[in-house]
Structure 1
């Protein structure tokens, strides 16, 4: 589940980055808006105060009358803004625009002047500016501005406003982050079972995931996939079991008639009434029948090992003495003179212990020795040595025979079987012998590796765990 904290940290980083970018964008937008409102030429859409002052600058007084130039008058008409001038002595209207609404008073008390300066006249937002011996009042459309007449802030509040805004922003960020973590936590709790379920699929561990929450559809699909895989595994297990039973049955059925063939052929080979040629043919039948019997036994053992049906009698084994015994028995079993086995004992500790099935390990070593003989018909030297690491020990069987090509080595190390010969005889290249070696060693949590020998032949190294503490 290492990916989930990584996912959360990246999401939080992305959230913080998004907030910072949003804040920067808002600051830039605010600066732009303020520049539009408080800089440049005064206009209806920017600042009504500057707009009013600009109109006042275009008003002139001649004797007792006021005049507004045509350009400014047209601007007021276009913007639907009306205007009046209140005389500072009489407090009555002495000048007005042509579009003055009918309900606008013509005389004002001091209180009225105070209200219109701060707020509205008859619902029209008003703004004022001083003119010669009077007060210019401009009335804007009712829906143009919203004036706040009563709010008042202390100087201390205005002074502390940046700190207050910073605190408010910080609290908002904390709240947003908390909410995000809360929602992310819920999402992670929904995702975690899905991730675990997906990880279990290749392991063959099928556990039903709760189909609840926003990802229920995904959970349902994973459960369906798990169910399909489980059913396929059951069907495959049945097929493998049937295959193993079929091989065991065929092996049993072949042994009985084969024993009879071997028995009768042996009698014919010893029959003095037959000619020498007939006796030789009978001996060939016996030898080939023995090979078939050995092949059937190998096939049965390989099948049991492949499907974990072979009983394992694991016990503590002292490797050095065990190998000596196996080699001596092999040499004493009518080994031909053109084959020589060399037991290389230099720098080998007296005791190396491992956990193994003695009979199966013996079969693996014997197969390697026999493999070297089978593929070097003109004879060879066979070298057996031991190499140990901190937690493993390797048994190396190599020869100085004909060896194999690089292509064959690649096939031997990476193929699912070792049947590389296409000859139509019983000597099928590196066949079941090496396959059984690999299966035996893998059942002991080890591995097998083939390479060219330093003696120019073939080298087979089997590596298994050793006992490091007693």
Structure 2
């Protein structure tokens, strides 16, 4: 859980850093583009140079292109000689003088002329003045040392590193402020699978989310309490019914046994008594199966676990079926590839499970079949040992296979075909934290694999 939360915080921090870095790059290129666009062809220094050169080359006349440029941008131009007298002008405002002293020239080269921003260019002994509209350009005179200029790249690098460090620190602080409460919520969500009651603080940015998790937790707890009560009620009801049935069953078996052995009765009457005895015994077995299935389903059956050889389980189960007359119409075989294959099991319950599977094969194949129990030499995987019970009978339809392989054993339909036998098998194996896998094809037999923890 800690690793997952740390990963979220790291990813969040990296995301903020990347976003900040991208924003810095965008800002840098935007500034460069802006400066290039503003100080390219419209740079006043370049403009006055271009116009001055053309005036000199064309004997102080301007091309139509430059005249249009001056007119469209409300610019004016003036040429003065070495004595400070004007000898050429175009679009010049009326307030601009036509004669300048040396002091005037020195002053306007750094400042304004009648509040007009002006730029000067010297052609031989003449001076060209390019004037801009008032309030269109801001001019500032400043000076600095070469050392300062040379230190600008280093300063910018330090500034960039400072921005990166500050971004990382801010991202970390912000990430912690956002992720610490979120960590509690994540822990709470993961705790929901364990069905624990959760109490998150319902405040801050994640107030609604914390409230939802708390409500979900409360509903789960209430639901589990209701399910537990229902399961206890079902188990107690089944146990009570089973207990109430045992007494009349014992009386029925007692009287039917007496009638069956009474030689003074007619043969037909004794046969009827025998049928009563057989059905009563079936009913008694069904009640016992129901009790066992319920106990396993609701974890009421204590397991006595010990390491047991699976070959012994196979032989005991097969012997029970042979002695009980179950296999009178079937042939059987036990194949033990390795006598040393063991599992941690309750041997009484596992014998019951294997016996049930053999009984199912015999009951569902009235015409007979060959039943084989195999203890494989090699386990199916590293954690499990296995027992395989297979027959050569009529098989099971695909839809029934899907039902039998359902995770919840009580979802298997109880009908004349399958009854409680396979449910008990699944409950026994699941109580051992094992797996039951059944495969079958119609008219080709059935294979059941029991996987048990070593």
Give the 3-state SS of the residue equivalent to 2:372 in structure 1: strand
1:404–1:458 Cα contact (<8 Å) kept: yes
| Aligned mates of 1:440, 1:335 — CA distance in 2 | 21
Which residue does the alignment assign to 1:145? 137
Which residue does the alignment assign to 1:202? 193
Which residue does the alignment assign to 1:434? 422
Higher RCO, Cα 8 Å, sep 6+: 2
Quick check: 1:155 aligned with 2:149?
no
Quick check: 1:359 aligned with 2:351?
no
* 2:43 corresponds to which of 44, 47, 50: 47
1:369–1:397 Cα contact (<8 Å) kept: yes
Give the 3-state SS of the residue equivalent to 1:204 in structure 2: coil
1:48 is displaced (CA, Å) by 2.3
Which residue does the alignment assign to 2:450? 462
Which residue does the alignment assign to 1:222? 213
Give the 3-state SS of the residue equivalent to 2:205 in structure 1: coil
1:268–1:279 Cα contact (<8 Å) kept: yes
Residues 186-231 of structure 1: CA deviation (Å, up to 9, x unaligned)? 3332332222222232332333223343222222222222222222
| Aligned mates of 1:26, 1:92 — CA distance in 2 | 48
1:247 is displaced (CA, Å) by 1.7
1:58–1:72 Cα contact (<8 Å) kept: no
1:417–1:431 Cα contact (<8 Å) kept: no
**TM-score normalised by structure 2 residue count:** 0.81
Give the 3-state SS of the residue equivalent to 2:405 in structure 1: helix
Quick check: 1:119 aligned with 2:108?
no
Which residue does the alignment assign to 1:260? 251
* The 10-residue stretch of structure 1 (335-344 or 6-15) with the greater mean CA deviation from structure 2: 6-15
Residues 87-106 of structure 1: CA deviation (Å, up to 9, x unaligned)? 654x68888876345xx788
Residues 152-183 of structure 1: CA deviation (Å, up to 9, x unaligned)? 23223334544443343233233223322332
**TM-score normalised by structure 1 residue count:** 0.79
* Count of aligned residue pairs for this structure pair: 444
1:46-445 matched pairs, under 5 angstroms: 46-53=42-49, 79=73, 88-89=82-83, 99-101=93-95, 110=102, 112-121=104-113, 123-130=115-122, 135-150=127-142, 152-334=143-325, 337-345=328-336, 347-349=337-339, 351-387=340-376, 388-389=378-379, 390-414=382-406, 416-417=409-410, 428-445=416-433
| Aligned mates of 1:37, 1:106 — CA distance in 2 | 32
Question: Residues 124 and 221 of structure 1: is their aligned pair in 2 closer, same or farther, counting only changes over 3 Å?
Answer: farther
Give the 3-state SS of the residue equivalent to 1:182 in structure 2: helix
1:184 is displaced (CA, Å) by 2.7
| Aligned mates of 1:156, 1:85 — CA distance in 2 | 38
Give the 3-state SS of the residue equivalent to 1:280 in structure 2: helix
Q: Which runs of 5+ in 1 are unaligned?
A: 41-45, 61-65, 423-427
Question: Residues 288 and 80 of structure 1: is their aligned pair in 2 closer, same or farther, counting only changes over 3 Å?
Answer: same
1:399–1:458 Cα contact (<8 Å) kept: yes
Question: Residues 285 and 100 of structure 1: is their aligned pair in 2 closer, same or farther, counting only changes over 3 Å?
Answer: farther
| Aligned mates of 1:57, 1:149 — CA distance in 2 | 25
Question: Residues 95 and 319 of structure 1: is their aligned pair in 2 closer, same or farther, counting only changes over 3 Å?
Answer: closer
Question: Residues 78 and 399 of structure 1: is their aligned pair in 2 closer, same or farther, counting only changes over 3 Å?
Answer: closer
1:442 is displaced (CA, Å) by 0.9
1:250 is displaced (CA, Å) by 1.9
Give the 3-state SS of the residue equivalent to 2:199 in structure 1: coil
Residues 55-100 of structure 1: CA deviation (Å, up to 9, x unaligned)? 656879xxxxx999999788767655567666654x6888887634
| Aligned mates of 2:326, 2:73 — CA distance in 1 | 120
2:334–2:374 Cα contact (<8 Å) kept: yes
Q: Which runs of 5+ in 2 are unaligned?
A: none
Give the 3-state SS of the residue equivalent to 1:225 in structure 2: helix
Give the 3-state SS of the residue equivalent to 1:451 in structure 2: strand
Question: Residues 69 and 408 of structure 1: is their aligned pair in 2 closer, same or farther, counting only changes over 3 Å?
Answer: closer
1:344–1:383 Cα contact (<8 Å) kept: yes
Question: Residues 282 and 418 of structure 1: is their aligned pair in 2 closer, same or farther, counting only changes over 3 Å?
Answer: farther
Considering only aligned residues, what root-mean-square deviation do their CA atoms show, in Å?
Answer: 3.8
1:108 is displaced (CA, Å) by 6.3
* The 10-residue stretch of structure 1 (275-284 or 330-339) with the greater mean CA deviation from structure 2: 330-339
1:418–1:434 Cα contact (<8 Å) kept: no
